[in-house]
Amino acid sequence: MRILSGIQPSGALHIGNYFGMMRPAVALQAEGEALYFIADYHALTTVRDPQALRENSRRVALDFLACGLDPERATLFRHSDVPQVTELAWILSAVAPMGLFERAHSYKDKLARGMAATVGLFSYPILMAADILIYDSDIVPVGKDQKQHIEMTRDLAVKMNETFGQSEPDGRIFKLPEPRIQAATETVPGIDGQKMSKSYGNNIDIFSDEKEMRKRVMSIVTDSTPVDAPKDPANSTIFKLYSLVASKEEIADMRERFLKGGTGYGDFKKRLFEKLWEYFAPMRKRREEILNDKSYIDDVLARGAKRANELANQVMERVRAAVGLR
């Protein structure tokens, strides 16, 4: 089984990235051949500073490795180190129905939030489809909000198979990938209660310094419920975040304190900060170890690019022959 997932280098990684994508990705290393890419091509839709893009891409590699990715069990590489993916995206775009992509929820949501209506933003799902199909991926872990993109990928794969698959022994060029919905993605709210996102400015970064993390946690938006009154843990960003990093006993204790009343949100925020700082302590230590080995990240990315290109070349030879380019 081949597993594929990607993460954008649009800035420092936050705890939403960790619980939504990185922790599940680390766990999946044991289930099959895992390929994880740093999506710098995708980041071009939002990042306009070339130096920042280079630095962010390297930082994602560093942080992912610090958070448990094992390069002996998983392949980590930069998107742009496999340029064949943009060739496949163009081939897919030649058969992609406009109506399918005009219905993309993500595109509409980004426009509603003020992003420029660029061709790249509109065709984002085509590049994502190429990311998935070019490695013959079987499983793609995604949040519920990305499920539509996997459905689009499958639609494009079927379209290509029906149009050009006659020359293939089994009548198809591409496998049909399956989504694996990561429920945790929906349970990582930002400091304003919306889904945590760098673009929304509501993030708590994994590797920010102690002062900055404390500041972000203490700025979590809460309601005006008095200290003495009972509070609803189900609707609390503080409680939801605490539930990701605390033990069952600690979670039960905080829930009881919420329902009982007598504890203010400020005290709950302090407890949340302490648990977050403690939870990520081993990863901060591992990060420092990696930084002390000057060649480690470059070696990991070079080996990852080599493996990714081997797989991509196999698929592209098949695609080029099927559509008449070879």
DSSP letters, 227-257, are TTS---GGG-HHHHHHHHHS-HHHHHHHHHH
Choice among 110, 231, 269, 275 that is catalytic: 110
Nearest to residue 142, comparing CAs of 184, 88, 81, 187?
A: 184
Question: pLDDT at position 184, please?
Answer: 47
Choice among 198, 231, 269, 275 that is catalytic: 198
Is 175 tagged catalytic?
no
Query: Structure pTM?
Result: 0.88
Residue spans of the domains in the chain: they are: 2-187+294-323, 208-279
Is 198 tagged catalytic?
yes
What is the CATH class of 208-279?
mainly alpha
Q: In what order do the strands lie in the sheet with 139-142?
A: 74-78, 33-38, 2-7, 139-142, 178-181
Question: pLDDT at position 43, please?
Answer: 92
Question: pLDDT at position 165, please?
Answer: 86
Phi and psi torsions of 141, nearest 5°: -70, 125
Question: pLDDT at position 20, please?
Answer: 85
Question: pLDDT at position 74, please?
Answer: 96
Question: Mean pLDDT of successive 10-residue segments in the chain (326 residues)?
Answer: 92 90 90 96 92 96 96 96 97 92 79 81 91 96 80 94 84 90 70 89 95 98 96 96 96 97 97 98 97 95 98 97 91
Domain covering 2-187+294-323, topology: Rossmann fold (3.40.50)
Question: pLDDT at position 149, please?
Answer: 83
Identify any residues that bridge with 180 across adjacent strands, giving them in sequence order: 141
Choice among 147, 159, 175, 195 that is catalytic: 195
Task: Please enumerate in sequence order all residues whose Cβ is within 8 A of that of 210, keeping only pairs 6 or more positions apart, or say none.
Answer: 277
Amino acid at 28: L
Amino acid at 128: M
Is 195 tagged catalytic?
yes
Angle formed at CA 197 by CA 256 and CA 107, multiple of 5 degrees: 130
